[in-house]
Amino acid sequence: MLGFITRPPHQLLSLLLCPGLRILRLSVHCAQPRPRAMASSSSSWELPLVAVCQVTSTPDKQQNFKTCAELVREAARLGACLAFLPEAFDFIARDPAETLRLSEPLGGNLLGEYTQLARECGLWLSLGGFHERGQDWEQTQKIYNCHVLLNSKGSVVATYRKTHLCDVEIPGQGPMRESNSTMPGPSLESPVDTPAGKIGLAVCYDMRFPELSLALAQAGAEILTYPSAFGSVTGPAHWEPVSS
């Protein structure tokens, strides 16, 4: 069985799709049973708990880390084996230039703090959308929207760079052009075995493209993840119709 701890949603959403699962506020729900070996009996069932952490990011990376760390520590205290953070958990800038200035490589200080947090708490972390300066940063001056998965030892076990960038016209707000500052990822990441099940990594706008979901499912994914930073206009236009 699969349990979820949830917090009230703010501006950012960290969302998962799993057959037979509904995620509600401040509640624990169960999906399809999954056998887990226990000391008392090989036929016993254990409930893996995962935490879906909702935050409202700002341009202040250290304040955002402090907020996320508080939620992750709470998840660990409640017995979660894995905590999910949303897209742009690291920061949301005021403009594209600030986004590029605040971005870091995977080997930078900020991700180092999250790897230490994972080790300290002894649980896996899904970092749903890290503003990554890739190896081609000097040539492109663009970043990647990178979903990073850490194990309980703080090691990076998977990275998926968002392949479908959100270039849309928003009524009353003008265009949103993620491609102005972000490069599309080159490939999908194979589903990863975790204490909660086999997880397929995606990001936000990827959910509009069913071929990605089908490819992950056919590769054995039991849980599809779509950490998202949908806004008040893009959320109803994308998440709600697709998930209904």
**Mean pLDDT lowest among 7-11, 55-59, 195-199:** 7-11
Rounded distance, CA 165 to CA 111, Å? 23
For the cut 90, the answer to whether the pLDDT of residue 173 exceeds it is no
Query: Do residues 227 and 128 make contact, with C-beta atoms less than 8 angstroms apart?
Result: yes
User: How do residues 176-203 score in pLDDT, each as one tens digit?
Assistant: 889 899 999 999 999 999 999 999 999 9
Question: Which tokens sit at 211?
Answer: 């071929």
Residue 243: band (very low, low, confident or very high) from pLDDT cuts 50, 70, 90 = low
* CA 56 centroid distance within chain: 14
What is the average pLDDT value for the chain, to the nearest integer?
A: 82
Say how far apart CA 133 and CA 66 lie, in whole Å: 22
Residues with Cβ within 8 Å of 240's Cβ and at least 6 positions away in sequence, in order, are none
Distance CA 152, CA 86 (A): 18
What angle (nearest 5°) sits at the alpha carbon of residue 117, between those of residues 114 and 120?
A: 155
How far is Cα 225 from Cα 52, in angstroms, rounded to an integer? Answer: 11
Q: What share of the chain in percent tops pLDDT 70?
A: 78
How confident is the model at residue 231, as a pLDDT?
A: 72
pLDDT at 238: 67
Contact 48, 196 (CB under 8 A): yes
Q: Which pLDDT does position 48 carry in this prediction?
A: 84
| Residue-level pLDDT at 57 | 94
Q: What is the pLDDT of residues 197-224, one digit of tens each?
A: 999 999 998 988 999 999 999 999 999 9
Q: Which residues pair with 28 in a beta bridge?
A: none
Residue 202 or 47, more confident: 202
Residue 75 reports pLDDT greater than 60: yes
In three-state secondary structure terms, 235 is: helix
Query: pLDDT of 224-237, one tens digit each?
Result: 999 988 777 777 77
Mean pLDDT for 28-39 is: 36
Q: Which residues are catalytic?
A: 87, 162, 204
pTM of the predicted model as reported, rounded to 2 decimal places: 0.82
Structural contact between residues 165 and 184, judged by C-beta atoms closer than 8 angstroms: yes
Task: Enter the tokens of residue 58.
Answer: 């700002």
Confidence of residue 169 (pLDDT cuts 50, 70, 90): confident
What does the alpha-carbon distance between residue 86 and residue 68 come to, in Å, rounded to a whole number? 10
The pair of three-digit structure tokens given for residue 185, joined into one six-digit string: 């990822």
3-class secondary structure, 40: coil
Please state, for a pLDDT cut of 90, what percent of the chain lies above it.
64
Report the pLDDT value the prediction gives residue 44, as an integer from 0 to 100.
47
pLDDT at 244: 65
Tokens standing for 178? 């993620």
